[in-house]
Amino acid sequence: MSDQQPQELIPAVNINYVGIGQLTVFFVSEDELRLIETGSPAAACLNLGIAFSSIGIGSLTSLLLSDPSKSLYKFAVGVIITVVSIIAGIALLVIWSRLRKQASETISRIRSRAIANAGGQVMEAPVSDNLRKP
């Protein structure tokens, strides 16, 4: 009798190799990866810019089309909301126009680092008799 324990049998696994033609690996820094994962802040600026512009235009329309208010306080609040909303909307839309190309520029910078041909070898996948179908 031997002191060795019996080995467990591992069931055979079928592996199918499907070629993709060419595989290109890009090296990406942590900052670039974070920008791609989280997305550019341009989308948030666009959404907020459109929201503030809509509030400002709606307030301006209501100020122009409504009856004059008897209260100077209500009128001043309406004008302040209108002016602040329009200025914030325009500022956010200007920021969005400057930031919108940040993600696409990062991706194109990553792609430009690709080496045309690194001198790699083409490897043939092993073919097993188990994988062949009649």
Segment 78-103, tens digit of pLDDT: 999 999 999 999 999 999 988 887 77
Domain boundaries in the chain?
A: 41-100
> Rounded to an integer, what distance in angstroms lies between the CA atom of residue 82 and that of residue 61?
9
**Which pLDDT does position 95 carry in this prediction?**
92
111 has pLDDT over 60: yes
**Which pLDDT does position 123 carry in this prediction?**
59
Nearby residues of 55 by Cβ (< 8 Å), 6 or more positions away: 81, 85, 89
Higher pLDDT, 21 or 72: 72
Phi-psi region of 39 (alpha: psi -120 to 50; beta: other; left: phi over 0): left
Alpha carbons within 13 A on the beta-carbon side of 130: 7
Mean pLDDT across the chain, nearest whole number? 79
| Mean pLDDT value of segment 1-25 | 69
The residue among 80, 87, 102 whose CA lies nearest residue 48 is 87
Tokens of 46: 């666009």
Q: Write down the pTM of the prediction.
A: 0.56
Asked if 49 and 96 count as a contact pair (C-beta separation under 8 A), the reply is yes
